[in-house]
Structure 1
Amino acid sequence: MTSPDDFSVDTLIIGAGQAGLAAAYYLQRRGAPFVILDERAAVGEVWASRFEALRLFSPAWASGLPGLEWPGGKLRYPTKDEAAAYLNTYAGHFHFPIHLYQRVARVSSTPNGYAVNTTTGQQYQARRVVVCTGSYNAPRRPEFAPQLPPTVVQLHSRDYQQPQQVAGTGPVAVVGSGNSALQIAADLAATSRPVYVAYDERTPAMPNNMLMWAMLTTTRLLRASRHSVVGGHMMRQPEPVVSGDLAKLRTYSNVQFIGRALGAEPGGILRGRHASTPPLEAVVWSTGYGPDFSWIEIPVFDAAGYPAHYRGLTAAPGLAFLGLPWLNSRGSALMGGVGPDARYVVDQLLEAPPQYTASG
């Protein structure tokens, strides 16, 4: 992991998370030269920076990247620090060339490929670029969030770390219907303060146990392509939560489910589909992320800012994406599911040499 000078490279991977490392694995197997850029100080640091109670919702045996199993017990649900250590070990095990502290500020086309500029002033010339910067990076909050008074502390799940971060002992609300929302709500509920969970009760819920993961693996449902009949049907359904925290939360006497959050009322009250909160001291918004690829100056995005692609490959020669939700399957954004996508993208990029136009 070295500090780079300006230079040219065949394939540039942006992001040293699970998707970027999986792409690196298959490029290395093909003997194709590449470099990975990452803005952090260490591989896996994104995982290490997440909230303290975070665990993978998939067991270790179902969460491995290609070529290296998780160390230790395979039936456990790894912590976020174990996930960070695994990614760091993975990168070191294969001796990937990674340039750290390199936040990409601009990707633009050139007659021979792409110019990639970082905030440190470095410039890379690459024939191919694989963008692996995560599911999406712009935190989302409901439109009514600004209606809450300044007395209500507001945090997005990206910034939440631990219960002590949310001052006071009074009512707090957690808004969201995903796995992270339920984990954060359970984390706060363990402190005995009143917790109001704005969870959409219509969200499909699956039990998180080894039997379920064995079923998903055996039936290959997580790998069903969005372009297939089965995968297309799954994609059109609401995203299920896979969590043991939902059942746990229902056992707490200090927890109340209020249904999907519909709006804010005077006095710091959050209105849910089924009930409203009392005046709140804090809200944690676990309401997801939107796309922010404004630094990529290539016209491969739809009106909503999402990459237009087929299984990660865009219309721009040599430009691909990995690690996005439903890139090809429900498993595409999971640590244990990114491998097949990475293999496909790498094979396609290497077997179809980019054909650039005079303007790029």
Structure 2
Amino acid sequence: MSESTTIPSAAALVRTDTVVIGAGQAGLAAAYYLRQNRVDFRLLDAAPAAGAAWAARYDSLRLFSPAWASGLPGRPWPGNPLHYPTRDETTAYLRDYAAHFSFPFEPNRRVTRLAAAPDQPGYLVQTAEGPTYAARRVLVATGPFTTPRVPAWAPELPAAVAQLHSRFYQRPAQLPGPGPVAVVGSGNSALQIAADVAATGRPVFVAFDETTPALPNNQPMWAFLVLAGLLRASRHSPLGRTLFGRPEPVVSGDLAQLRRFANALFIGRATAALPNGAIQGTRATTPPLATVVWATGYQPDYRWIDLPILGADGHPRHHRGLTAAPGVAFLGLDWLNSRRSALLNGAGPDARRVVAELLKMP
């Protein structure tokens, strides 16, 4: 433990059975099952409303799963089940979900420390400007999208090149100047953002790894994935281990749409920055750029967790969400248990299982 833990005065301490940290889809699903089991709990989030991570994403975002495969437990998506919801529809759904079930949601509660309570079982959850919570159980549901990650060579680009991570990208008008833009990344967000910018007519250089697999994103494919059990195969099963070792596919339709833009040029996987402000790819090199959008993923930032449940790389150490700290678990991480763990589709099943395991504690 990095520093001694003291219990605040009674006036500044809120006692509850369970604290859920994060009010995105994973935290809301956990809240549903805690309510079903009549557990006294608090749902905390640093933002002023539930689903805030979705509200901050880019304007043109759409879910990669249809509404029928994206709902949380106890409340299906409204409207056409075959529809692929937009960013704003997803945000509205999550906020409606929290309000519908009247969860004990406490917004504007940024957690600054999670530590073992001194001289008694349980944990203390300290917040920046609110109370400290004493709880027997803690569910960390802050999700995988915490700290943006960029290549180690990104700082080698000259200052004249504007750099923006996809976490902060919302629309093409944010990008300065009329000059060429590079979008770096080999995931679905990179394809959607590149198409978003290409639609304005600006030259877009797409640093995309051509070996990335692509799959259709249609109703038959989703029916097959669900019925065949590919999304729910645990990473600890033979099938799950095979799937876990493969690169994440992108949507073939999004890739095809981007290739139709004459002003979108694919340069292969990005490998280096050049002194003139260009990016070198495995297939081609860009001209000097005005802007680079890094759609290169995230890395964890759990420095506020003062428990021996993190690896040397900062990633949580867990088995299907459960940690070595009795009563502490994670939800909403990539491959927490299966491919769907970080998706809306998987929030409910993971939450049901993890909550049930935590409630077995004496």
Q: Tell me the C-alpha RMSD between the 2 structures.
A: 1.1
Contact 1:39–1:102 (8 Å) recurs in 2: yes
Number of equivalent positions? 350
2:345 is paired with a residue of what secondary structure?
Answer: coil
Q: Structure 2 matches for 1:282-293, cutoff 5 A?
A: 282-293=291-302
The equivalent of 1:276 in structure 2 is 285
Gaps of 5+ in 1: 354-360
Distance 1:51 1:243 in 2: 20
The equivalent of 1:213 in structure 2 is 222
Match 2:18 to one of 2, 11, 24: 11
Contact 1:11–1:126 (8 Å) recurs in 2: yes
Letter in 2 for 1:95: S
The equivalent of 2:52 in structure 1 is 45
Distance 1:91 1:73 in 2: 21
The equivalent of 1:313 in structure 2 is 322
2:163 is paired with a residue of what secondary structure?
Answer: strand
Contact 2:234–2:240 (8 Å) recurs in 1: yes
Match 1:150 to one of 159, 171, 178: 159
The equivalent of 1:324 in structure 2 is 333
Give a deviation string over 1:265-315, Cα, whole Å, max 9, x none: 121110001101011000000000001000000010111111111110000
The equivalent of 2:211 in structure 1 is 202
2:306 is paired with a residue of what secondary structure?
Answer: coil
Q: Structure 2 matches for 1:1-360, cutoff 5 A?
A: 6-110=13-117, 111-242=120-251, 244-353=253-362
Distance 2:84 2:101 in 1: 24
Contact 1:63–1:336 (8 Å) recurs in 2: yes
Distance 2:313 2:58 in 1: 29
Shift of the alpha carbon at 1:242?
A: 2.9
Contact 1:47–1:84 (8 Å) recurs in 2: yes
TM-score, with length taken from structure 1? 0.95
2:97 is paired with a residue of what secondary structure?
Answer: helix
Distance 2:330 2:299 in 1: 16
Moved more, 241-250 or 191-200: 241-250
Contact 1:179–1:243 (8 Å) recurs in 2: no
Contact 2:310–2:317 (8 Å) recurs in 1: yes
Distance 2:83 2:201 in 1: 27
Distance 2:203 2:251 in 1: 24
Letter in 1 for 2:157: L
Shift of the alpha carbon at 1:46?
A: 1.9
Shift of the alpha carbon at 1:45?
A: 2.1
1:311 is paired with a residue of what secondary structure?
Answer: coil
Shift of the alpha carbon at 1:136?
A: 3.9
Letter in 2 for 1:74: P
TM-score, with length taken from structure 2? 0.95
1:341 is paired with a residue of what secondary structure?
Answer: helix
Contact 2:213–2:250 (8 Å) recurs in 1: yes
Letter in 1 for 2:179: G
Give a deviation string over 1:313-350, Cα, whole Å, max 9, x none: 00000000000000000000000111111011000000
Distance 1:58 1:257 in 2: 26
2:139 is paired with a residue of what secondary structure?
Answer: strand
1:155 is paired with a residue of what secondary structure?
Answer: strand
2:134 is paired with a residue of what secondary structure?
Answer: strand
Contact 2:162–2:291 (8 Å) recurs in 1: yes
The equivalent of 1:356 in structure 2 is none
Shift of the alpha carbon at 1:121?
A: 4.1
Letter in 1 for 2:58: F
Give a deviation string over 1:233-289, Cα, whole Å, max 9, x none: 000111111352111011110011101000011211100011010110000000000
Contact 2:125–2:132 (8 Å) recurs in 1: yes
Distance 2:332 2:224 in 1: 23
Shift of the alpha carbon at 1:93?
A: 1.0
The equivalent of 1:358 in structure 2 is none
Shift of the alpha carbon at 1:5?
A: 6.0
Gaps of 5+ in 2: 1-10
Shift of the alpha carbon at 1:6?
A: 2.9
- Aligned-residue sequence identity (percent) comes to 60
Contact 1:154–1:283 (8 Å) recurs in 2: yes
Distance 1:247 1:136 in 2: 27
Shift of the alpha carbon at 1:214?
A: 1.0
Distance 1:330 1:320 in 2: 18
